[in-house]
């Protein structure tokens, strides 16, 4: 088999060639994380947030076996309205060989973005270590990929259905820096705070841009996690959050859900149990992450002008 497996949108390639700001966006949140047609509206909105800052968006997905770095109208329609696979890094060669489409996870998006030369990536929540992983060994590929991929990921922490303490330990072991954006406390996705503090914080996009340069020079070649809390007025009420999560975990246990099906089951259950509140917070934190990622990408692109 000999064919082009990566297709970079002309606008994205032009921006990269010119050293302009580009931000990668994942497609799993569109294909699997939001209901139709809300998902298509969100995809357009996330891209527009970046364009309004003079940043080029690069939503990433696999379309008919080809990794698209930046989506045209047809590709965006496919990920928004067709039932396609959820693709992590391990799935990419299979989709390519079979010429199938797939929505990229954090791991796959980070990997493909870095191959294209994109340095900043915005997502909702990072994957991590699942509760009970000491027995199931259930850990997201997001973590190992970030250990080997030179990209800065802006997220609202990790999804609070995961084991946050174990996730932070794994990131430390993998030498992935975790930096709080205007906070010393690691956020918990729908909540602004968890019970875990951070050693490092950054109070401006420029600080993070300098960290990226330093990571390139003296780091191990991996990425940086920027932990960006959901805005205070958009966060979920903690009491309601805790109640819904407890109910969700009980439902998953009763249903016997295992492996990679756990998180989608929990998130869908939480949306229904919260009567859509979790979905609205998810959208708000994603918008905030996209905006901050755009600012970081601009700061990084402008370093060469100093």
Q: Which amino acids are annotated catalytic?
A: 26, 159
Number of residues in the chain: 306
Contacts for 84 with CB less than 8 Å, ≥ 6 apart: 31, 78, 100, 101, 102, 103
Q: Is the torsion defined by CA of 105, 108, 110, 116 positive or negative?
A: negative
For residue 286, whether the previous peptide bond is cis, meaning omega lies within 30 degrees of 0, is no
Work out the burial of residue 257: count CB atoms within 10 Å of its CB; fewer than 13 is exposed, 13-18 middle, 19 or more buried.
Answer: middle
**219: closest CA among 169, 170, 177?**
177
| Alpha-carbon gap, residue 198 to 265, rounded angstroms | 30
CA distance 113 to 98: 22
What tokens does 95 get?
A: 């989709």
C-alpha 132/C-alpha 290 separation (Å) is: 31
Neighbours of 279 (CB within 10 A): 18
C-beta atoms surrounding 169 within 10 Å: 12
């Amino acid at each position: 088999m000999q064919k082009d497996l990566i297709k970079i949108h002309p606008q994205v390639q032009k921006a990269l060639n010119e050293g302009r700001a580009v931000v990668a966006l994942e497609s799993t949140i569109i294909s699997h994380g939001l209901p139709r047609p809300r998902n298509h509206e969100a995809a357009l909105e996330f891209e527009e947030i970046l364009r309004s800052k003079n940043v080029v968006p690069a939503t990433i997905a696999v379309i008919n076996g080809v990794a698209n770095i930046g989506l045209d109208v047809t590709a965006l329609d496919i990920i928004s309205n067709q039932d396609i696979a959820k693709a992590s890094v391990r799935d990419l060669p299979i989709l390519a060989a079979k010429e199938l489409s797939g929505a990229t996870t954090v791991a796959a998006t980070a990997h493909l973005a870095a191959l294209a030369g994109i340095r900043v990536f915005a997502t909702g929540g990072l994957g991590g270590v699942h509760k009970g992983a000491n027995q199931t060994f259930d850990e997201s590929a997001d973590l190992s990929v970030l250990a080997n991929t030179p990209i800065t990921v802006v997220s609202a922490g990790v999804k609070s259905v995961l084991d946050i303490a174990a996730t932070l330990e794994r990131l430390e072991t993998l030498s992935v820096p975790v930096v709080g954006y205007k906070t010393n406390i690691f956020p918990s996705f729908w909540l602004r705070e968890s019970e875990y503090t951070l050693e490092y914080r950054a109070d401006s996009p420029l600080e993070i841009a300098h960290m990226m340069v330093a990571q390139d020079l003296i780091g191990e070649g991996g990425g940086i996690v920027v932990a960006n809390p959901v805005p205070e007025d958009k966060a979920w009420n903690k009491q309601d959050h805790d109640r819904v999560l407890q109910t969700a975990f009980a439902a998953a246990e009763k249903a016997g859900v295992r492996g990679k099906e756990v998180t989608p089951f929990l998130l869908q259950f939480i949306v229904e149990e919260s009567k859509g509140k979790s979905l609205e917070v998810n959208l708000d934190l994603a918008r905030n992450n996209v905006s901050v990622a755009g600012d970081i990408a601009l700061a990084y692109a402008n370093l060469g002008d100093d």
